[in-house]
Structure 1
Amino acid sequence: MISKLALNDVPDVLRKPLLVEYKRIIGNYLERNWLASELSGGRFAELVFAILEGYATKSYPTKIPPKPRDFVAACKKLESYTNVPRSFQILLPRLLPVLYEVRNNRDVGHVGGDVNSNFMDASAVVAMAKWTLAELVRVFHKLEIKEAQQLADSLAERTLPVLWKSDKTVRVLNNKLTFSEQILLLSSDAKGALPLQNLMSSLDCTNKSYMKKILKTLHDSRLVEFDPLASMVTITPKGSQESEKIIGNMTDPTI
């Protein structure tokens, strides 16, 4: 079985975004974007809930449903369905609130000597998401646990992360991308405005005039905000959406 056929019994309206969020969890973790991995874990939990509810009621939604107002209570209600596998009745409904809680209530201010929990939380999210997806695959495809885990792992298989970071610079590892695409990825990853000099260093570009020409095109397209006087580049919401598309095409354009 190839990965693009995984969970084919689940409607595309839930299956496709579920796999996208799963890939984001793994990808962000590889890139050490702990908070982004945790956020995808929350969205992943909401989609799994919709799948479990649809499986139990034999009625899947035709579009992504709004998240339940009380997620914990909604998951608890899933335990009342007796026509489903035990993991769909007990294990997953009790695991999903944990995934959801990490997203909602863990990134808070710490006092005293508290240690930042982002790495620890992101690691937990990855482990729970992998187990959850493997269990969905196992049930829907009637596979043994080992086979289900192998298929689940293949769904997130990425030879390299999108970005590589050292103490001094950030690199886009896919050198087949255009300069414009790499600029969007680097700008999207930056925490705020990105200095032009840092951007040029990441791209190994020494021609400032050429770089400014590309940035002006992106600026005119409203993908970035380029301030030539301050030599700063800031991604726009439109640019962030385009960056997500680039990453999606790199991970798996077939899902």
Structure 2
Amino acid sequence: MTTLQDALKLVPAGLRDPLIEEFNQALDEYRAADWEKVGLKAGKFCEIAYCVCAGHATGGYASSPSKPGNFPQACRDLEQHNGAKGRSLCMQVPKVLAALYELRNNRAIGHVSAEVSPNHMDAELFLRGMKWVMGEFVRNFSQLPLNDSHAVVEAVTARTFHMVWASGDLRRVLEPAKTASDKVMILLYAEGKPVPVPQLQTWVEYKNGTDFKRKVIRALHKKAWVQYDEKSGFVQILPPGQAHVEKSGLLVSVI
């Protein structure tokens, strides 16, 4: 199977690897319906993607990502190279990056506001923008056969489904085939805060409360994937549990 790593071999590993990592993490946060984290990942993605564009424009790639002091101006400065290096990575991609970066830094992401939260609709734009930028990188850097490059672009730009449906206090994992334990991990990952056991049981649609605590919650606690406080009745995800969700493919939907 041809991957982004294969398609972006011309990009130095010091930039390619963190770029793909931030992109994949943004996909995971989107699938978990954690809109704010999608925005946070988008900001880091833009900084790395700028370094890729700058390296292409100047012919000298940085060994690792760095944040320009004035991001919008740095993106505009790349326009002077469009004659020799092409419009895509010197003008078009930097303009998209600057727009995403502006939205990331000057909206509700990471801030408290009395207005209707724009995090979800912004996350939709962030994800589509990041996908488009990755597609452009594949188009410009890939040395794979044309059909393979096209397949990577199609895979990158394909629609991504979020895994958790939310409405008020209700939550539902949109993948019925997942086990109860998997659903609990996905829900706790998406919530990012302690959740009462009865609420988790309702969300997972597990009929027997005693069995739910014994077979699901306590089993996950024993693995150190969650912390179950029996006195308060709350459960929260632990760092090993977060890593499990991110690396095990739990957030990948087959819809």
Name the TM tier (shorter chain).
Answer: 0.7 to 0.9
Aligned equivalent of 1:197: 198
**CA 218–23 in structure 1, closer or farther in 2 if over 3 Å, else same:** same
Structure 1: 5+ residue runs without aligned partners? none
Alpha-carbon distance in structure 2 between the residues aligned to 1:208 and 1:53 = 57
My pick for the range that moved more, 73-82 or 100-109, is: 73-82
Gaps of 5+ in 2: none
1:241 equivalent in alignment to 2:243: yes
Q: Give, in whole Å, the separation in 2 of the partners of 1:33 and 1:243.
A: 14
RCO (CA 8 Å, sep 6+): is it higher in 1 or 2? Answer: 2
* 2:227 alignment partner, SS class: strand
Using the TM superposition, give the Cα deviation of residue 196 of structure 1 relative to its aligned residue in structure 2, in angstroms: 0.5
The residue aligned with 1:223 is 225
Deviations 1:203-241 (Å, cap 9, x if unpaired)?
A: 232333443334334334443221112211112334323
Give the corresponding residue for 1:131: 132
Percent sequence identity is: 31
Q: Return closer, same or farther for 1:209/1:66 CA change in 2, 3 Å cut-off.
A: farther
Deviation for aligned residue 1:117: 2.7
Separation (CA, whole Å) in 2 of partners of 1:99 and 1:148: 25
Partner SS state of residue 79, structure 1:
helix
TM-score between the two structures when normalised by the length of structure 2: 0.74
> Which stretch has the larger CA shift, 205-214 or 43-52?
205-214
Instruction: Name the CA distance, whole Å, in 2 between partners of 1:28 and 1:222.
Output: 22
Runs (4+) of structure 1 moved beyond 6 Å? 147-150
| Cα separation, partners in 2 of 1:162 and 1:30, compared to 1, 3 Å | closer
Distance of aligned partners of 1:29 and 1:92 in 2 relative to their CA distance in 1, 3 Å threshold: same
Range moving further from structure 2, 73-82 or 99-108: 73-82
Kindly indicate whether the alpha-carbon contact (under 8 Å) linking 2:173 and 2:183 is maintained by their aligned counterparts in 1: yes
Aligned to 1:75: 75
Q: Distance in 1 between matches of 2:67 and 2:196?
A: 38
Structure 2 SS opposite 1:225: strand
2:195 paired with 1:185? no
> How large is the RMSD of aligned CA atoms in angstroms?
3.7
Cα 1:215–1:26 shift into 2, 3 Å: closer
Counterpart amino acid of residue 67 in structure 1:
K
Q: Which digits, 9 at most, give the CA deviation of each residue in 1:71-119, with x for residues without a partner?
A: 33433443344542222222222321221122222114546xx543334
Pairing 1:10-29 to 2, within 5 Å after superposition: 10-25=11-26, 28-29=29-30
